Amino acid sequence: MTSWPDLADPCTDPTEVAEAAAAVIAEQTGADHHDVALVLGSGWARTADLIGTTVATVDNSLVPGFRKPAVEGHAGSMRSVAIGSTGKRALVFGTRTHFYEGHGVRAVVHGVRTARAAGCTTLVLTNGCGGLNPAWGPGTPVLIRDHLNLTANSPIEGAHFVDLTDLYSARLRAIARRVDPGLDEGVYVQFRGPHYETPAEVAMARILGGDLVGMSTALEAIAAREAGLEVLGISLVTNLAAGISATPLSHEEVLEAGRAAAGRCGSLLAAVVTRIAEGAR
C-alpha cells in the first residue's frame, strides 16, 4: 500500500496531493491530460454515459487524497470519458466530499485541484438541490448564475484575494442555453447541512436573493476560480425547498427525481460538454 501526504495535515501542501492524484489518474487512464472535469451530484450519476465512451474507471481509493462517498446514490469512483468524437477527454468524478462530512474544506475541493493538476481548463459542477421557485418541479435543471456561500468557510488558504465576479461563466451559460433555450438561471445557496433547511431558513434564502438551496458547489466553485478554471454550474431541482411544498422532504424523493430526470439531464450535459470540447484549447 502506497502512502501519500495527509490532506488534513496543515503542513501538507494541498497542491502537492492534487499533483500526486493527477499522476495516478494519468497512469490509470492512459491519458496524459484531461480537458473538462465534471462533478456529478445527486441525480446526475447516470449522465456520464451519454457524454461518450468510458475509457477507464478508477476507484477513488487508489487516488491520493480521495475519500469514499458518504451518501447513498453516489459512486466511489472517477472515470475518463472520451468526449464524443472531439478527441478531448472528460474527467468525471462520480462523487464528491461534502462539507458536512467534517473532513475539512481541503477534502471538499480536492477534486477541483486535482482536475486543474490533470490539465483541465473547464469544470462542470452539478448537484441536486431544493428549489424556491414553485414553477420548477422536481426534475428541472437550472443554471447557476451566482451563489451565496453560507458555510462561513473558504477553500482559499492565505491572503489570496480572489475575484468572484462572473464566477459562473457567462460564456458557458450561453452555450448551455443554446443547447436548451428553456433553461432558467438562479442563485444557489450553499448551506452546511446535512439537515435540510427549516421553512424560516428557506424564507431567509429567498429574501437574500437565493433561488436554489443545497449543500455543495459554492466552495468548489471558489476553489476552481482560484485555480483558474472556467466554471459551469447546473442544479437539478429534485424537491421544492422546505415550506415551499406542503410535503416534508425525503432522501427517497430526491433519488427518485434524479432517476426520472436522468434522460433530460444526460442529453443536456452531453451536448454542453461536447460544445465546450469543440471550442476548448
Residues lying near ligand 8IG in the complex (CB under 6 A)? 42, 128-130, 191, 193, 196-197, 213-215, 238-239, 241, 249, 254
**Structure-block grid coordinates of residue 41:** 451530484
Report the nearest approach of ligand 8IG to the CB of residue 135 (Å). Answer: 16
Q: Which is nearer to ligand 8IG, 7 or 129 (CB)?
A: 129
How far is the CA of 150 from the CAs of 113, 165, 191, in angstroms? 22, 17, 5
Set 19, 157, 197, 220: catalytic member: 197
Using a 10 angstrom Cβ sphere, with 0-12 exposed, 13-18 middle and 19 or more buried, the burial of residue 220 is buried
Specify whether 197 is catalytic. Answer: yes
CB nearer to ligand 8IG: pick between 54 and 133: 133
Count other C-beta atoms under 10 Å from residue 239's C-beta. 25
Q: Which is nearer to ligand 8IG, 77 or 217 (CB)?
A: 217
**Residues in CB range of 188: below 8 A, 6 or more apart:** 127, 129, 144, 146, 147, 148, 210, 211, 212, 213, 214, 217, 218, 233, 235
CA pair distance 96, 39, nearest whole angstrom: 7
Q: Please report how close the Cβ of residue 47 comes to ligand 8IG at its closest, in angstroms.
A: 15
Nearer to ligand 8IG, 213 or 273 (CB): 213
Catalytic residues: 197
